[in-house]
Amino acid sequence: MKAVMKHAPGNGNVAVMDTAEPACGVNQVKVEVAFCGVCGTDIHVLHDTFRNYPPVILGHEFAGTIVEVGKDASGVALGDHVTVLGATAVTCGKCVYCRSGRFMFCPIRRGMGHGVNGAFARYAVVRPDQIFRLPEGFGLDEASLSEPFAAAVQAVCELTPVRIGDTALVSGPGPIGLLCLKLLVAEGIKTIVAGAPGDTARLEAARAMGAAAIVNVGETNLLEAVKEQTGGMGVDTAFECAGHPDSVRGCLDALRPMGRYTQVAISGREIQFPIDRLIFKQLNMVGSLCYTERTWDRVMKIYAQGKVRLGDLITAKFPIAEWSAGFDLCVEKKALKVLLYPEA
């Protein structure tokens, strides 16, 4: 089968290659990939700024159909429409984090798409416990956004207390920021979305998705806009989804005393900020890394209840042969989510 592979260590070294179709072993399930989303992590693997273990097939945000069920694999059936938790591909199962469901911190963990083969290919083979069955009628294209959506669900629904009547700030209108916005809107939270001058189209998308106000910080003072929206109080919660120094400081300024700051974006650099804000406003600051399996269970319930749909985040679909055009659209911020699909 054709697959987008990192074939050697270092910067670059990604190409569409012919590789053996994976065999479905004991306690394994073979999934025919319908769509696999391009994620910032894939671009980091391309440039070797995220750990990777070549030769490896890229891609970890996918959904598809079960086409083979291996011996002893239970709870799954041929023809099921599913999405896959790729991050648990390799864990020890024994450490304190694995035993408490916090597999992200397992010292030997390897995820699909960089640690083991991912899903920019026709087939992927996984364990049944990585499979989440989609509710009837939920599209395989929007279901391929489950992995970034789960990250937003942990940040908004599990780690940040949000209550109707609150005002939230989402700073950074990339895919994760917009997924956080969708959840906040579904929970009835008045949400301000802030972005940089290059984010005009993404801010318009935020408005269409239910933002109460959008702020282009190149044109409008964020603090003034926040005061206007909150009667001078400041926001109750801020979700930092840009990973930019100005955004971090903007969130700290925008919060009211006793507010909650949740760091969702990875910035990849050191950021200077006035740490005294934490004391003088007695802020709660928390980081949110990915999700747990329980988060994915919640994602399936959110899909089933139908209050949040994800299709409007998908701006382009490419066959895997055109992976680099898809990657470029993401790097240039010309797309929200780009999906790749295997060719017939």
Residues lying near Zn ion in the complex (CB under 5 A) are found at 39, 61, 91-92, 95, 98, 106, 147
Q: Which is nearer to Zn ion, 88 or 262 (CB)?
A: 88
Q: Which is nearer to Zn ion, 188 or 268 (CB)?
A: 268
First to last CA, the chain: 10
Q: Minimal distance in Å, beta carbon 134 to Zn ion? A: 18
Q: Which is nearer to Zn ion, 113 or 234 (CB)?
A: 113
Q: Which is nearer to Zn ion, 229 or 288 (CB)?
A: 288
Name the percent of the chain in helix, strand, coil, to the closest 5. 35, 25, 40
Q: Minimal distance in Å, beta carbon 237 to Zn ion? A: 23
Query: In a 3-state reduction of DSSP, which class is residue 200?
Result: helix
Q: Minimal distance in Å, beta carbon 239 to Zn ion? A: 17
Nearest-CA neighbor of 63 among 5, 1, 147?
A: 147
Q: Minimal distance in Å, beta carbon 148 to Zn ion? A: 5
Q: Minimal distance in Å, beta carbon 32 to Zn ion? A: 20
* Distance, CA of 334 to CA of 174 (rounded, Å): 11
Q: Minimal distance in Å, beta carbon 33 to Zn ion? A: 15
Q: Minimal distance in Å, beta carbon 339 to Zn ion? A: 12
Q: Which is nearer to Zn ion, 95 or 266 (CB)?
A: 95
Q: Which is nearer to Zn ion, 106 or 184 (CB)?
A: 106
Nearest-CA neighbor of 66 among 147, 131, 1?
A: 131
Q: Which residues pair with 235 in a beta bridge?
A: 255
Q: Which is nearer to Zn ion, 98 or 329 (CB)?
A: 98
- Residue 78, amino acid: L
* Distance, CA of 285 to CA of 19 (rounded, Å): 45
* Distance, CA of 193 to CA of 213 (rounded, Å): 6
* Distance, CA of 162 to CA of 139 (rounded, Å): 29
CB 237 within 8 A of CB 256: no
DSSP for 296-331, written as a single string = HHHHHHHHHHTS---GGGEEEEEEGGGHHHHHHHHH
